[in-house]
Amino acid sequence: MSADHPFARELGDFLRARRGRLRPQDVGLEPGPRRKVTGLRREEIALLAGLSTDYYQRMEQGRDVRPSDNVLDDLATALSLDDDERRHLFALARGARRPQRVRKRRAPERVPAGTRHLLDVMNTPAVVLGRHLDLLAWNTLAEELFGDPDQQPPEHRNMLTSLFHDPETRMRCPDWEATALQYIGMLRVAVAADPTHPRATTLIGELSIHSADFRRLWARHEVRETVHGTKLFRHPQVGEIKVEWGSYPLPGSPGPLMFVYTAEPGTPDAERLQLLASLRAARTRHEGRAEPAGGAESVRGAEPAGREGRAAADGRPL
């Protein structure tokens, strides 16, 4: 693999980041005096993995090496990778073994009509996210929980962009850094599948330019393939709500995912979600609209107007 191979560059960056987080004592080595590097040295990782220092250095530099699966297993053990990180290592290395394609056809991300109807009739917050965390569709309860995405330009309707650029989103997210690392880890998985995707390139470039926090967290090379978990929100009227979330692939995946946010029945958090629904209904009545009941009003992003709106709904980069 050559140094300009996108998978090779990602692999080298990932290896350096994982090496940098380890200390000698973490792997049974003596720290020794006068260390000039943070984390382990290249020769120490090479020793632990049973490789020559030159071979391992060329891997970090993205040069012409094609590690076998056995070598990758040894590296994963030497670097103390968890299951998600191990899969990420293998995905990057196997991508780097393949010849570069001149052009990769990428289909636009679409939300099926049946999925929009499902969002419409759900009585709990739910959204549809593209592979790069673009917000493709949402219901009114999600709008109430997250804030109104229509207040942002279509190109900023992205979970990471909102988290790093929108003060209201930060206010609604008490565990802001943990959430950011989770989203960044999910984006890393998407980048591992297609490092040169124009949406990924644009998103990472813009966030890197405008946010020191993003640059700091992105450099950690966190990888997450989480499909469920818990999240804490702070609503300006209801207060803090701890919800459980799960992600569900849509037909035709890999592609967009539906994220559904629930609370265990009978708990204070479930009561707060019910209060959120009541507040939404009251606001809808105050604005002079009929309460949505299976109609298009309750699913946002469903009927975007103009070229920009259609592109956002289809998941195309603007």
In DSSP notation, 128-179 reads EE-TT-BEEEEEHHHHHHH--GGGS-GGG-BHHHHHHH-HHHHHT-TTHHHH
Query: Of 306, 307, 305, 300, whose CA–CA distance to 135 is shortest?
Result: 300
Per-residue pLDDT at 218: 95
Phi and psi angles of residue 149, each rounded to the nearest 5 degrees, phi first? -65, -25
Per-residue pLDDT at 151: 84
Judged against a pLDDT cut of 70, whether residue 130 lies above it is answered with yes
The CATH number fitting domain 113-314, selected from 3.40.50.10210, 3.30.450.180, 1.10.10.10, 3.10.20.30: 3.30.450.180
| 132-151: average pLDDT | 92
| 173-183: average pLDDT | 92
Phi and psi angles of residue 136, each rounded to the nearest 5 degrees, phi first? -95, -30
Query: Of 143, 168, 170, whose CA–CA distance to 280 is shortest?
Result: 143
> In 194-296, which ranges are continuous DSSP H helix?
198-210, 212-218, 268-286
Task: Determine what percent of the chain is predicted with pLDDT higher than 70.
Answer: 85
Amino acid 219 reads: A
Per-residue pLDDT at 280: 85
Name the residue ranges covered by the structural domains of the chain: 6-97, 113-314
Q: Which band of pLDDT confidence, cut at 50, 70 and 90, is reported for residue 289?
A: low
Q: Among 81-90, 115-124, 275-284, which is the least confidently predicted range? A: 275-284
Find where tokens 């949406």 sit. Answer: 199
| 105-109: average pLDDT | 80
Judged against a pLDDT cut of 60, whether residue 313 lies above it is answered with no
> How far, in Å, CA of 27 to CA of 40, rounded?
9
Per-residue pLDDT at 105: 72
Please name the fold of domain 6-97.
434 Repressor (Amino-terminal Domain) (1.10.260)
Phi and psi angles of residue 230, each rounded to the nearest 5 degrees, phi first? -125, 155
Per-residue pLDDT at 303: 43
Per-residue pLDDT at 153: 84
For residue 99, is the peptide bond before it cis, meaning its omega torsion is within 30 degrees of 0? no
Give pLDDT tens digits for 145-173: 998 888 888 888 999 999 999 888 889 99
When the pLDDT of each residue in the chain is averaged and rounded to a whole number, the result is 84
Task: Determine what percent of the chain is predicted with pLDDT higher than 90.
Answer: 57
Q: Which band of pLDDT confidence, cut at 50, 70 and 90, is reported for residue 285?
A: confident
| 1-21: average pLDDT | 84
CA atoms within 13 A on the CB side of 129: 18
Tokens of 232: 């804490």
Per-residue pLDDT at 23: 86
Give pLDDT tens digits for 210-258: 999 999 999 999 888 778 899 999 999 999 999 999 999 987 666 799 9
